[in-house]
Amino acid sequence: MNSMVITAHPDLNQSRVNKALIQKLKNVDIYVRDLYLEYPTWQIDVEKEQQTLLQYDRIVFQFPFYWYSCPPLLKKWFDDVLTFGWAYGPGGDNLRDKEFMIATTTGGSEASYRSGGDNKYTISELMRPIERTLTRCKGNFLPVFVGYSVMQATDAELEHIAESYLEAVKAPMEILIH
């Protein structure tokens, strides 16, 4: 499977966990891109992004959970790149059957992201707008990968999260959605 990870972290150099996740991917055949590095002025090259998406079967969006959503540059990327007539709507079949995965990290515990928890909802519930965006583009939305409690994680815990992430990114769709 031909996979690409698009990272969107406003300050990747300050994120122990997101750097660990990316580092784990460097030893395998997965293309990793950093939107904040590629687009420091936020002027997204839509045609380049669309052509890049066509080359991959699985696209993973990796980002810190940011005010119950994704960081703003990734939201802009969705708005600019996933255009009517290309990604959805009449003639918008370019992303049909591609696999999409969200990989996010949060300082909160898994218990805080459940019905009745501090955040009132599960991560899957909070990711519904992104899920619907990608399924509107006729893509297959895979289960969300979450690294919980990352702010206080030890190096050994970060290694475990990164290893689990690599397994999820590489796993066949049939295993992920059993």
Residue with the larger pLDDT of the pair 18 and 72 = 72
pLDDT at 104 over 90: yes
CATH number for the domain running over 3-176? 3.40.50.360
What would the mean pLDDT of 112-130 be, rounded to a whole number?
A: 91
Confidence (pLDDT) at 31: 95
pTM above 0.85, yes or no: yes
Confidence (pLDDT) at 168: 93
Q: Output phi, psi for 56, to 5 deg.
A: -120, 145
Confidence band, pLDDT 50/70/90 cuts, at residue 18: confident
Q: What is the rounded CA–CA span in Å between residue 14 and residue 108?
A: 18
Average pLDDT, the chain: 92
Confidence (pLDDT) at 34: 95
What would the mean pLDDT of 98-105 be, rounded to a whole number?
A: 96
Q: What is the rounded CA–CA span in Å between residue 70 and residue 11?
A: 14
The answer to whether 174 and 1 are in contact (CB under 8 A) is no
What would the mean pLDDT of 48-68 be, rounded to a whole number?
A: 96
What would the mean pLDDT of 10-16 be, rounded to a whole number?
A: 84
Q: Is 59 helix (H, G, I), strand (E, B) or coil?
A: strand
% of residues, the chain, pLDDT over 70: 99
- The DSSP code for 144 is P
What would the mean pLDDT of 64-75 be, rounded to a whole number?
A: 93
What would the mean pLDDT of 29-46 be, rounded to a whole number?
A: 96
What would the mean pLDDT of 13-18 be, rounded to a whole number?
A: 84
What would the mean pLDDT of 102-121 be, rounded to a whole number?
A: 89
Q: How many CB atoms lie within 10 A of CB 55?
A: 10
What would the mean pLDDT of 77-99 be, rounded to a whole number?
A: 97
Residue with the larger pLDDT of the pair 173 and 82 = 82
Confidence band, pLDDT 50/70/90 cuts, at residue 75: very high
